[in-house]
Amino acid sequence: MEIRNLNTFLKVTELKSFSKAAEALDYSQSAVTVQIQQLERELGVQLFDRIGKSVSITQYGTDFVAYARDVVSAVSRASTFATENKDLTGTVRVGTLDSLMTVSFADIVPAFHERFPHVVTRIHCDNAARLKELLIKNEIDLVYTLDEQLHDAQFAKVFEAEDEIVVVTNVENPLAKRVSVSLFDLVGHPFVMMNRNNPYRDRFDLELAHHDLAIEPFCELESDVLVIKLLSANPQYLSVLPRYAVEKSIHRERLAALPVAGCVMRQWRQLLYHKNKVITPQIQGMLDTIATCCKRV
């Protein structure tokens, strides 16, 4: 069974077209057809239905995708196991949240670059839902996110860790001096919040809704860095952020996490890739680097 034929099969399934696969692989369409036919003869099953000018994958083909990806990934890793990482090239596409990029990637990027100096790291920040969509579309290679604990057979999970979501303010805010604060006490205070569809913003809104409360922030934005700057400069402001994002500011006694009675908010940092993704040595290196660095957060 030739790896070339497996690669061609995977490209046809990805693009859903023999002609587009031929163009992408710089083959003639007849060469693609021959390779698929060779693979079908070896397996003894038909991988694609050919009806008129349309091509659609059969159930045999669908079932074979995972096996083909496993073989291609294994061969890719085996072919470079004796090669120094510094000789590898290419691009690794990472999806993450703004808060995780700020806290973690200052360590991840140089650690990865030291191992793979000629591999480009491309980081895309978005909300958790959009990152999963991009992973399914194969527009990014892996995702490091914070969200509700994910149980989805589409994704392989490399790492997860539970994190606390906190209501945070300047240490000079009178609420920071109190032993206990209720959710009702927070209503009416000026909140700077991340935009909706942000996982910890949504978690806080859900907690408020359970108590028939709501808060309308006077400012919504994408950057947790700007939120922290605003809180540090304006004692009256409040926000909701993961504890890991404000831990340094709390230790420096600039910000304080409020002790909100009866309000326990937790989510999960998770490192994911699509189960059918071909894991190259470069991608595996990034997964290993992130897993090592994020365990320190």
CATH number at residue 36: 1.10.10.10
Instruction: Please check whether residues 153 and 289 belong to one and the same domain.
Output: yes
Domain that holds residue 188: 163-266
Note down pLDDT in tens along the chain; length 297 residues: 888 999 999 999 888 888 899 999 999 989 999 999 999 999 999 999 887 667 889 999 999 998 898 888 888 777 665 555 667 889 999 999 988 888 889 899 999 999 999 999 999 998 888 999 999 999 999 999 988 888 888 899 998 999 999 999 999 999 999 999 999 999 999 999 998 888 889 999 999 999 999 999 999 998 888 999 999 999 999 999 999 888 888 878 899 999 999 888 999 999 999 988 888 889 999 999 999 887 765
pLDDT at 82: 52
pLDDT at 231: 95
CA within 13 Å, CB half, 26 = 0
Please tell me the distance from the alpha carbon of residue 291 to that of residue 157, in angstroms, as a whole number: 11
Q: What is the domain-level CATH number for residue 227? A: 3.40.190.290
pLDDT at 296: 62
Instruction: Please check whether residues 260 and 273 belong to one and the same domain.
Output: no
pLDDT at 91: 94
Instruction: Please check whether residues 116 and 243 belong to one and the same domain.
Output: no
Instruction: Please check whether residues 21 and 155 belong to one and the same domain.
Output: no
DSSP secondary structure code for residue 150 in this structure: P
Please report, for residues 9, 76, 195, the alpha-carbon distance to residue 204 in angstroms, rounded to integers and kept in the order given. 46, 44, 12
Which residues make Cβ contacts (< 8 Å) with residue 156, sequence separation at least 6? 272, 273, 274, 275, 277
Helix (H, G, I), strand (E, B) or coil at 192: strand
Three-point CA angle 278, 280, 285, nearest 5°: 130
Through-space distance between the first and last CA atoms of the chain, rounded to whole angstroms: 45
Instruction: Please check whether residues 172 and 236 belong to one and the same domain.
Output: yes
Region for 188 from its dihedrals, namely left if φ exceeds 0, alpha if ψ lies in -120 to 50, beta otherwise: left
Which of 61, 79, 97 is the C-terminal boundary of a domain? 79
pLDDT at 295: 72
Structure-token pair, residue 270: 């998770």
Instruction: Please check whether residues 237 and 110 belong to one and the same domain.
Output: no
